[in-house]
Amino acid sequence: MIGVLLVLLLLPFLLYIAAPQIRKMLSSGVCTSTIQLPGKVAVVTGANTGIGKETAKELAQRGARVYLACRDVQKGELVAREIQIMTGNQQVLVRKLDLADTKSIRAFAKGFLAEEKHLHILINNAGVMMCPYSKTADGFEMHMGVNHLGHFLLTHLLLEKLKESTPSRVVNVSSLAHHLGRIHFHNLQGEKFYHAGLAYCHSKLANILFTQELARRLKGCGVTTYSVHPGTVDSELVRHSSLMRWIWWLFSFFIKTPQQGAQTSLYCALTEGLEVLSGNHFSDCHVAWVSTQARNETVARRLWDVSCDLLGIPVD
């Protein structure tokens, strides 16, 4: 009994001492590509904070023309100015994008297509996590609507521009949480049963299935696509859950910084020779294992068709 109490008393201290090494181990993936991006155009969703901000900053540092696609334009403008000052790149632009509203997504795409002749990198980074049950402007469950359907529609609307700009890449930010996800076609909008944590997992599974099916459909056309697990990152993603905020604080020594969390997205966007791995899932800048559900081609194809139907996109 005394031994157990002693261990419990010493555990916080031991974790504190071990934290730097554990954090290094959990943050092992680093994008080492030295490629520069003058003349390239990139879109990063959710780029006004966290991983998206760090991703956009690095792309700007390499000379790309970067669009910060944000719901909060005012906050986005502040971040854009910060990136411009830090990188010396004035080609950092902010455009309104609310992934919870298909009208906003279509307006963003229409404006972008009118402004730009090319699109080389699309990083579908924005997301919500553990929201109380709610619906988007179009009646979709919030996690599935924002994390999957919103990015599905955005990618569809920008796809021809990506094809015209080859070689080009699409990076979809997923999560290790996809292992707990399932695609319940009879309850895709969470109306029959709902759990905030699982709803997030389901949407992250959808990201991986979308990536695989998109890669299959785009094979040989010069557009490649990848899904990524950024790691457990200190970001605003947990803002809807007091429990998750407490857990994040408790284990803050072991959680990645947003800069560390952006590394795998950058790796998939920039690393040369990655085209042969299109459709794969990455973590810490390496190909990562996915769940059995995430390898189900039948589910991936059905999810594609159902997504098209929900968004009013012709099924090909």
CA distances from 109 to 18, 224, 244, 274, 310 (A): 47, 20, 34, 27, 18
How far is Cα 294 from Cα 209, in angstroms, rounded to an integer?
A: 6
How far is Cα 252 from Cα 233, in angstroms, rounded to an integer?
A: 9
Given 67, 200, 226, 267, the catalytic residue? 200
Token pair recorded at residue 95: 């455009």
* Residue 200 annotated as catalytic: yes
- Asked if the bond preceding 167 is cis, omega within 30° of 0, the reply is yes
| Residue 212: strand, helix, or coil | helix
CA distances from 119 to 122, 163, 213, 218, 234 (A): 7, 9, 21, 16, 29
CA distances from 203 to 69, 110, 154, 157, 303 (A): 20, 26, 16, 20, 11
Strand 65-70 and strand 168-173: the pairing is unpaired
* Sign, Cα dihedral of 45, 47, 50, 56: positive
Angle between helices 263-270 and 50-61 (to 10 degrees): 40
Token pair recorded at residue 223: 């557009």
For the annotated catalytic residues, the residue numbers are 200
